[in-house]
Amino acid sequence: MSDCLFCKIIKREIPASIVYEDDHVLAFNDINPQAPLHALVVPKRHIDSLNALSPEDDAIVGEVVRRAAAIARDKGYGDRGFRTVFNTNAEAGQTVFHVHLHLLAGRGLRWPPG
């Protein structure tokens, strides 16, 4: 996806503050953080949203989720707590159509969310 913002970050065409990378997953700090830790964990392979997932994506979704938890633990938030969110389409506030898991931690997070 040549016009996808997160694909451009993955290809290093746009800079980002990268916190983790492997062959399948990239994690970087959100440019507009909503908590002391606010990272985005993304599959390197472009997927528009959760609505586009197929059974072949089960492994990468698992990797993304487990990586978010590992980053939270590494940064000391495993016991305190952290929130993980996938926004899908307009009413949920999705603005970038490349699947990304928000990882938020470091402050009290209210429920229900706004």
Does the annotation count 102 as an active-site position?
A: no
Residue 94 in the binding site for ligand AMP (CB under 6 A) = yes
Residue 88 in the binding site for ligand AMP (CB under 6 A) = no
Instruction: Pick one of ligand AMP, Zn ion, none as the site partner of residue 94 (Cβ within 5 to 8 A by kind).
Output: ligand AMP
| Number of residues engaging ligand AMP in binding (CB under 6 A) | 13
Q: How far apart are CA 71 and CA 104, in angstroms?
A: 11
Residue 16 in the binding site for ligand AMP (CB under 6 A) = yes
What residues are labeled active site?
A: 100
Binding site for ligand AMP (CB under 6 A): 5, 14, 16, 28, 30-32, 40, 87, 93-96
